[in-house]
Structure 1
Amino acid sequence: MPHAGGPAEHDGGSDVTTETAFVLDEVSWTNTEGTVTAADVLVREADGGWHEVATDVAPAAYGESTTVPFDPVSVTGVRLVLSTPGSYLKVREVTVLGEVAAAPELSAWDAGTAYSAGDRVAFHGVAFEATWWTRDVEPGSSPWGSWQEIAETSDGMAVWTESRIFTAGDVVEHDGARYEAQWWTRNQEPGGSKHGPWVSV
Structure 2
Amino acid sequence: MKLHHNVALLAAAALALGGCATAVPPVEVTRFHNAVPAWAPGTRYAIATAPLDASGSGGPAAGMPSLEWNSYRAAVDQQLQRQGLVAAGSGERAPLLVRIDFARSERVNGGGNSPVSVGVGGSTGGWRSGVGLGIGFNLGGGPRRITDIELAVRIDDAASGNALWEGRAIAAIPAKAPAAQPSLAAAKLAEALFKDFPGESGRTISVP
Q: What TM-score range do you get, normalising by the shorter chain?
A: under 0.3
Greater per-residue helix proportion: 2
Q: Report 1 or 2 for greater relative contact order, CA contacts < 8 Å, sequence distance ≥ 6.
A: 2
Give TM-score scaled by structure 1 length.
Answer: 0.27
Which has the higher Rg, Structure 1 or Structure 2? 1
Greater per-residue strand proportion: 1
